[in-house]
A = this chain, B = another copy of it.
Amino acid sequence: MPVAAPPVPFIDFGNTAWVLISTALVLFMTIPALALFYGGLVRRKNILSVMMQCFISMAVISLIWVAFGYSLAFGPGHGALAGIIGGFDWAFLKNVGMEPSPYYISQSTARIPHIAFMIFQMMFAVITPALIIGAFAERIKFSAFLVFTVLWSVLIYSPIAHMVWSADGIFFKMGALDFAGGTVVHINAGFAALAAAIIIGKRKSKKAAPPHNLVYTAIGAAMLWFGWFGFNAGSALAADGLAASAFLATHIATAAAAVMWGLLDWLLHKKPTMLGVATGAVAGLVAITPAAGFVDIMGAMAIGFSVSVVCYFFVVVIKPFFGYDDALDAFGVHGIGGLWGALLTGVFATPVIQSAYKGLLYGNPNQLKVQALVSLTSIVITFFGSLILLKLIDMVMGLRVTEKDEAIGLDVSSHNERAYTLVE
Contacts and interface: CB of A to CB of B under 8 A. Distances in A.
A213 B14 contact: no
Nearest to A20: B247
Contacts of A418: 210, 214
Contacts of A28: 222, 226
A238 B416 contact: no
Interface in A54-97: 55-56, 58-60, 62-63, 66, 92-93, 97
Contact of A248 (B119, B240, B251): B119
Contact of A244 (B119, B225, B277): B119
Interface string A16-27: 111011011101
A158 interface: no
Contacts of A229: 20, 23-24, 27
Given A272-B415, A421-B44, A243 B20 contact: yes
A382 interface: no
A63 B218 contact: no
A171 interface: no
Interface residues of A, number: 109
A40 to B, nearest CB: 9
Contacts of A281: 55, 59
- The residue among A49, A119, A238 with the most chain B CB atoms within 10 A of its own CB is A119
Given A259-B59, A272-B52, A417-B275, A11 B240 contact: yes
Given A43-B424, A301-B63, A414-B271, A216 B215 contact: yes
A215 B301 contact: no
Contacts of A230: 24
**Shortest 5 CB-CB contacts between residues of A and residues of B:** A13-B14, A98-B241, A14-B14, A31-B222, A17-B239
Given A20-B247, A48-B274, 11 more contacts: A11-B240, A11-B241, A14-B16, A14-B17, A24-B25, A27-B226, A47-B215, A56-B272, A92-B298, A113-B245, A214-B420
8 contacts: A14-B17, A24-B226, A55-B281, A56-B262, A59-B258, A59-B259, A98-B245, A113-B241
